[in-house]
């Protein structure tokens, strides 16, 4: 990326000022992520109560967990290329509508097949929204602040999951399991008008398709892009097959390593997110107390950004994230091997959230920086999509281990392997980045010789 020549308009977009427009985009995308994060965990929070209400075994909800992840996989894989080709804003609004409508419909589910169908459709929206929010935040971020702003935007996801858990712990005993899905569906529907009015489209898309529109000219002025530069339309937008471009220009190995990282870590994240409330309930906690304790997983991800962000800025994302992924093994072993009492177990759950969710926030920002703007949404979308294969495997593994009769907390021990795999793949990304720097430095010397 650093070696690419940029046109004047690309140079202006990469070095845009940070002002009210950029802040508005980050906040709106963070709000979408907050609702995304809450809805991601609603089925896990509702499962213990649904198990009692419907008289079914907890492991039978594995299908609902898995199909929710399948929906997220399909949504993420489709939205990346579609956003790069046809615009990010309309795709984001459609995704948020899917989240809201099918979350509300989940409150009227009457069986495992019906809740499974609703969660699949909700997953389409969740998966569709994730890469688009990353791409839009990246489009409206100066290059020197991009990684930090993407991490902060993604904090909305973990904050939504954490605050949602606190809310559900209060309303569940009073209003029942249906309230979980109403709380997850109504706020996204209320957000849609604000997205339609206040969220801008990608500036590169606007320059190519609506350069003469007054609204576009106003946005470009706020980005310090001159009318003359914009008239050239020399911007980095998708041409041809954006998915194929993930494997050209020296990006093939990077793409494969990124997919390995996302697969391994999201396997662990979804294993913990979906099964933690049920495991804690099976271990003796009341459903509302189990949900409260499980929400420490999201809180760990939020708090970790205060440490990971500055460290990434100083030492580089791959190096810091490799250590962070590996640290998760300590907390996984503590949860799985020791029968800790209710208040104490929240500490390793907090640490596991920091190691998994916090690292994932950093990985999302890292990936956005690895790919050029024309395929950024595709790169992030496919990384998240491939990661959702891990998100499918994680809940399925958890359900299978429970069905085999393994003690509930010990199902999490299988997460040690993926944590180490994610750490090793990130180390290889560090080595590749160092090799690329050597090539860039050596090239001018070769030409001079």
Strand, helix or coil for residue 15: coil
**DSSP code string of 99-125:** HHHHHHHHTT--SHHHHHHHHHHHHHH
Residues 326 and 315: their CA atoms lie apart, in Å, by 17
Q: Which CATH class is domain 8-448?
A: mainly alpha
Residues 163 and 41: their CA atoms lie apart, in Å, by 11
Number of separate helices (H) and strands (E) present in the chain: 18, 0
pLDDT tens for the chain, 449 residues: list them: 444 546 777 777 878 888 899 999 999 999 999 998 898 888 888 988 898 899 988 888 888 888 888 898 889 888 877 877 778 899 999 999 999 999 999 999 999 999 999 999 999 999 899 888 988 998 898 877 877 788 888 888 888 888 888 898 889 889 999 999 999 999 999 999 999 999 999 888 888 777 778 888 888 888 887 665 555 556 555 566 778 888 988 889 999 999 999 999 999 998 998 888 888 888 888 888 888 888 899 889 888 887 887 787 778 788 889 999 999 999 999 998 988 888 899 999 999 999 999 899 888 878 877 887 777 778 887 898 888 889 888 988 998 898 888 888 899 999 999 999 999 999 998 887 667 655 434 444 444 44
* DSSP 8-state secondary structure symbol assigned to residue 240: S
Residues 268, 396: contact at Cβ < 8 Å?
no
């Amino acid at each position: 990326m650093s070696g690419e020549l940029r046109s004047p308009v690309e140079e202006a977009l990469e070095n845009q000022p940070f002002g009210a427009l950029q802040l508005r985009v980050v906040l709106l995308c963070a709000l979408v992520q907050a609702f995304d994060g809450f809805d991601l965990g609603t089925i896990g929070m509702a499962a213990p109560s649904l198990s009692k209400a419907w008289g079914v075994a907890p492991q039978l909800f594995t299908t609902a967990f898995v199909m929710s992840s399948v929906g997220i996989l399909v949504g993420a894989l489709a939205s990346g290329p579609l956003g790069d080709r046809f615009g990010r804003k309309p795709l984001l609004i459609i995704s948020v509508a899917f989240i809201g409508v099918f979350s509300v419909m989940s409150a009227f589910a009457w069986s495992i097949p019906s809740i499974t169908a609703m969660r699949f459709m909700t997953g389409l929206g969740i998966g569709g929204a994730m890469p688009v929010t990353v791409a839009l935040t990246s489009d409206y971020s100066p290059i020197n602040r991009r990684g930090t702003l993407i991490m902060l935007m993604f904090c909305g996801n973990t904050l939504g999951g954490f605050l949602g858990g606190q809310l559900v712990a209060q309303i569940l005993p009073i209003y029942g399991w249906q309230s979980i899905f109403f709380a997850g569906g109504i706020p996204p529907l209320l957000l849609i008008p604000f997205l339609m009015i206040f969220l801008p489209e990608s500036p590169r898309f606007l320059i190519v398709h609506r350069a003469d529109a007054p609204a576009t000219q106003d946005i470009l002025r706020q980005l310090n892009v001159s009318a003359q530069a914009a008239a050239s339309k020399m911007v980095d937008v998708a041409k041809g097959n954006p998915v194929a471009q993930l494997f050209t220009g020296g990006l093939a190995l990077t793409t494969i390593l990124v997919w390995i990282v996302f697969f391994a870590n999201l396997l662990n994240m979804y294993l913990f997110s979906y099964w933690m409330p049920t495991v804690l309930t099976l271990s003796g906690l009341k459903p509302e107390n189990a949900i409260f304790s499980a929400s420490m997983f999201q809180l760990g991800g939020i708090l970790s950004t205060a440490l990971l962000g500055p460290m990434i800025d100083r030492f580089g994302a791959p190096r810091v994230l490799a250590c962070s992924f590996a640290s998760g093994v300590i907390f996984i072993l503590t949860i799985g091997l020791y029968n800790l009492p209710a208040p104490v177990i929240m500490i390793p759950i907090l640490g596991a959230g920091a190691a998994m969710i916090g690292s994932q926030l950093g990985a999302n920002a890292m990936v956005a920086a690895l790919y050029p703007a024309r395929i950024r949404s595709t790169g992030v979308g496919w990384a998240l999509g491939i990661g959702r294969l891990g998100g499918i495997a994680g809940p399925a593994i958890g359900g299978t281990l429970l069905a085999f009769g393994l003690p509930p907390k010990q199902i999490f021990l299988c997460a040690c392997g993926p944590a180490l795999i994610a750490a090793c793949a990130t180390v290889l990304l560090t080595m590749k980045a160092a090799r690329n720097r050597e090539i860039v430095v050596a090239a001018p010397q070769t030409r001079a010789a």
